[in-house]
Structure 1
Amino acid sequence: MSSLRARAAALAAVAVIGFSTLSAGAAHAAPSSSPAPAPAARAATTPAEVAPEVAEALSALAPPTRIPGNSFLTKDQSWYSPSGRSRVVMQWDGNVVLYRDGKAIWAAPGAIPNGDHLVMQWDGNLVLYAADNRPIWWSHTEGHPGAELTVYNEGAIAVELNGKILWTSAPPAQVPLPCPPWGPPYPGQVIPPWCPVWPFPS
């Protein structure tokens, strides 16, 4: 029962940042399709700004694709989440965009038009470089050798080391509505969609 409540709490936390279906798979890079308009860029989240509720929610999700250090994307290549529903793309126009189900939900600030290749470095920093190797944007996670980039089915990327989230594209989560006590609902009771229902299917 406690594990069920923990899973429900995780789903509640990620529901407010657009996460949903959970599944798993393997890492790969592949050519991307034509880019869609990217969302307005926002400032990078530094390690100190990762909200505890976001870190806790991501840690409870299905296993993500893991991109090790010294990996990179060139133009028109992507890293996919295990289910393929989410992908981070190094676009031909220089932008780095995270998509979920074809919808752009995050973009690297200042990438257009000079972005050329995205590198998950050995020192733990995720960096977008121009063609002349000038850094344009980075995750501010240097100094963490062995860190990996993770790509989640639910629509987030993160730089992680030994289970600790150093940076993530996910915005801080709002406090979701709590789940009601476990048991049959009373007439007219409102149950948030992320809460388990009675009886829980076996």
Structure 2
Amino acid sequence: MAIFALSDELSFPPVHLAEKDGLLAIGGDLDPQRLLLAYTSGIFPWYEAPPVLWWCPNPRFVLFPGELRKSKTVRSLLNKNAFQFTIDQDFEQVIRHCRNIKRSNQDGTWITEDVVRAYQQLHRQGYAHSAEVWKDGILVGGLYGIRLGQVFFGESMFSLVSNASRYAFTCYTEQLKTEGVQLIDCQVYSEYLESMGARMIDGKEFDALLKEYIPAR
């Protein structure tokens, strides 16, 4: 299949035309309206340098909040209130930590300054959210993503101390569950999130769930 080149028109090709690795289109911009259309369609940007690359992998790695698994370590930390958990208290610091954190087998980062600015704008518009974990007043872990209807699209997380990101993910998943969120998109497989209950589903099922859980815009 060919990779589609985006024009100035606010549209994406059908997701079933993505390459086997999930790459669907190239080009376009990170305008908030384009990003919201992308997420509504199950598409996300992921690139290290321009042009923008747009992805829609199949199968899709997701977590149903009711299937969240808590390790003994996390349960112990929760019981002891080992960290302070907050939501949307410092979005910029969270995304910048996600940008700067060193990851194994990864030299660069896809969270460019353009990405930081675009998601900060979505945060101001009420679509992008952060969850933070603090220890003695210092931010030590967290995550951010996009919330549309009953779906949360996770983007990235970081941890400066052991289990901080796992604590943030657990607490935020529980909070999203109480708010009626039915699906958390984890995008691509990771052993880390699999240990917390995430699993693969077919792309057609994922698309159907998006249509069910995200109000028409």
Tell whether the structures are fold-level matches, with TM greater than 0.5: no
TM-score (norm 2): 0.27
TM-score (norm 1): 0.28
* Higher Rg: 1
